[in-house]
Chains A and B, each alone.
Chain A
Amino acid sequence: AQSVTQLDSQVPVFEEAPVELRCNYSSSVSVYLFWYVQYPNQGLQLLLKYLSGSTLVKGINGFEAEFNKSQTSFHLRKPSVHISDTAEYFCAVSEDDYKLSFGAGTTVTVRA
């Protein structure tokens, strides 16, 4: 069975500064990896996904993530954040059965 650990529960960051959200997973088989964003009182929206191929994945809103198989990590980065990036971010892993296992989430608060 797979599991996901998001290493930071809260990340405060100033506007226009870079941000990195850390995600590690455990699985005995090949996995698919996802980052979702959840704005207040809304459902989850897909930011980006790794299914296969290039380990550097670019998503929406300027986010990117790098899959590192040896370190079983899938960290999310953005070089310059905006106030509107304030939200909760979830890392998720899926094996072939197409069920998602989510991490506990990282709350990003962007300050002016």
Chain B
Amino acid sequence: EAGVAQSPRYKIIEKRQSVAFWCNPISGHATLYWYQQILGQGPKLLIQFQNNGVVDDSQLPKDRFSAERLKGVDSTLKIQPAKLEDSAVYLCASLRHRDVNIQYFGAGTRLSVL
């Protein structure tokens, strides 16, 4: 089966610009996660979706970050406006159903904010 797809792979923007990332999870996976991985750190959860509903967005900086999963399949994460400290890899992951508890990760989008 196809894995988690993310695009773009790399993005360079200037501070105060806007950027959007796209994720297509594995087919049939109801739960979708966005993580932020800053260089030298482990991934940090930003938001978790179950189908098209938000389960947890407590760590999402809502003044500048937004995410949606309108049809319960693919998802977009947006940053507006970007700050220098947003430079990181943004990882998307999906999980099939609750009793498996294994998340599958995409290759990520590397964002550089100049």
Contact = CB atoms under 8 A, between A and B. Distances in A.
Given A98-B98, A98-B101, A41 B43 contact: no
A36 B42 CA distance: 11
B109 to A, nearest CB: 10
A67 interface: no
Looking at chain A's contact residues, the main secondary structure is strand
A61 to B, nearest CB: 17
**Interface band, chain A:** 20 to 34
Interface string B46-70: 0010000000100000000000000
Interface residues of B, number: 24
Contacts of A98: 31, 95, 98, 101
A110 B4 CA distance: 29
Nearest to B43: A102
Interface string B76-114: 000000000000000101010010011111111010000
